[in-house]
Chain A
Amino acid sequence: MALLEVKDLHVHYGGIHALKGVSFSVEAGTIVTLIGANGAGKTTTLRGISALVKPSKGSVTFNGKVITNTPPHEIVGLGLSHVPEGRGIFANLSVDENLQMGAYLRRDAAGVAKDRDKALELFPRIRERLQQNAGTLSGGEQQMLAIARALIARPKLLLLDEPSLGLAPQIVALIFQIVKAIAKDGTTILLVEQNAHMALKVATTAHVLEVGTLVKSGPAAELASDDAIRKAYLGVH
């Protein structure tokens, strides 16, 4: 059975029907990506999964448990961490305190220390800045901190919302390299990206969202060579 099962998910924002029945699943151990243009509903899908928005219809099943009506703060405890769009760093807290927030629900101090070390090994630049106010980090560092913080919650599934947003190409490459390393280490990843090029490179499976509906799904390598996809999302003419 799939780790995450999204079935016929609908989300309304007031009168706007932002998601119109999205269904897909994420198998354990894979990287699944949702690509699509701005406003296609990628972020809304992630928010629907982690309960930041209440779906008007449909269901989300995680690890065999229906979580459609579970509040967001309980979903983290089940092993699903969401790195939100815009990174969601607490700028009023230090870098170290941001990391501690990732372990908010964990009571095993020794395990937390181990996972913290592991996360800092992935992001040595964060280790140098532990005592700094998190608001003073650069965009790339904030993204690294956001991912490190999510990893400290020890998720089975990591939702990443536009990790490349607003970052320099070298940093984007570095982040994607780390995303791959995290997946290799056994954490399943659901990645939302406008940078379809990078996303299709790292992902196992890809889904294309257009105005609230999935229009195409398949192995990432296959979609990357699909002519229509190449024209619409990869800038190849």
Chain B
Amino acid sequence: MTTFLQTLVSTLSIGSLYALIALGYTLVYGVLRFINFAHSDVVTLGTWITVSLAGAFGWAASGSPAFALPVILILTMAICAAVGITLEFLAYRPLRRAPRLNVLITAIGVSLFLQNFGQLKWVFGPRYAGSPALLEDRTLVTVFGVGIQLVDVVILLLAVGLVFALEMLVFRTRLGRGMRAVSFDERIASLMGVNVNRVITLTFGIGSALAAAGGLIFTLKYSKIGQTADQTWVLLGLKAFVAAVVGGIGNVRGAAAGALLIAGVEQFGAAYLSPKLQDVYVFLILIAVLLLKPSGLLGKAVTEKV
């Protein structure tokens, strides 16, 4: 029972991390039909901006004020959104009419650029950093011998709140309708008066802001932040991408569901089978889903009557 509960808690908080990253992949895929391989680097940027801001404000050590976390969250999300919008404008917009493969290769180029740019001495440097102590290390309650940590509750609430806000935006607002219209057919969307370029810009901004929140969550969960070209980021991005694909790429709810599934398989597999193979389980699920339901769990092939 203890192991089960412990694993469930870590599934929820790791799942939250994956979900916030997966949403960025899925949103951009939804409007542009391409996989933004530089997305995981925006997550990395989010962690490093969190570390840098906490350092600059003097909130890196424990005992930082309660408003430190929300202030840093909002700033990090805003900065990453601006970076995402800039990347779209400089790297992807000129290729709007180019073959999709060209855009994909450009995304890999952008990713390599961000990884190496971040390692410059005057940026973040080629070093590891410790996570700032933005949250008190506190156990809220103990259930069946499992201490529920403050950090896990905060992570879950933050992710649920952001996913809910995104859900509202996409399904209840005019901008969200515009995004879904562009996702279906950008030419027809433009005939309705949708400024397609603006929708794409905002989509990149929103996806990058969510990635930033994911980056901040990473610093809450893990104590060591690897340099921007570190292998951790590639694997983290890849797992979130798998979550988006498993859930049905382009589908907002699917990305959240896929993230929970991936985190669950990874955590429970590690706890009950072998922790050495935890990455393997994730990709096994990917293979199984691609074989059995290639459109993803919640993805559906849209049937059109003519």
Chain A interface residues toward B at CB < 8 A: 50, 52, 71-74, 76-77, 81-82, 84, 88, 90-93, 97, 100-102, 104-105, 135-139, 142, 149, 153, 166
Contacts and interface: CB of A to CB of B under 8 A. Distances in A.
A101 B196 contact: no
A135 B193 contact: no
A77 B193 CA distance: 7
A90 B194 contact: no
> Nearest 6 CB-CB pairs, A to B?
A105-B193, A88-B188, A76-B193, A72-B190, A104-B193, A101-B192
B194 to A, nearest CB: 6
Given A50-B191, A72-B191, A90-B184, 10 more contacts: A73-B196, A74-B193, A77-B193, A84-B188, A88-B191, A90-B180, A90-B188, A91-B184, A92-B180, A139-B305
Given A73-B195, A105-B193, A88 B181 contact: no
Nearest to A77: B193
A90 B191 contact: no
A97 B180 CA distance: 10
Interface-centre pick from B178, B188, B191, B306 (highest chain A CB count, 10 A): B191
A168 to B, nearest CB: 13
Interface in B169-208: 174, 177-178, 180-181, 183-185, 187-196
A51 B177 CA distance: 22
A104 B174 CA distance: 7
Contacts of B189: 90, 101
A102 B192 contact: yes
Contacts of B305: 135-139, 142
7 contacts: A73-B193, A88-B191, A104-B178, A105-B192, A135-B305, A149-B192, A153-B192
A194 B247 CA distance: 44
Contact of A92 (B178, B183, B196): B183
A93 B184 contact: yes
A93 B181 contact: yes
B137 interface: no
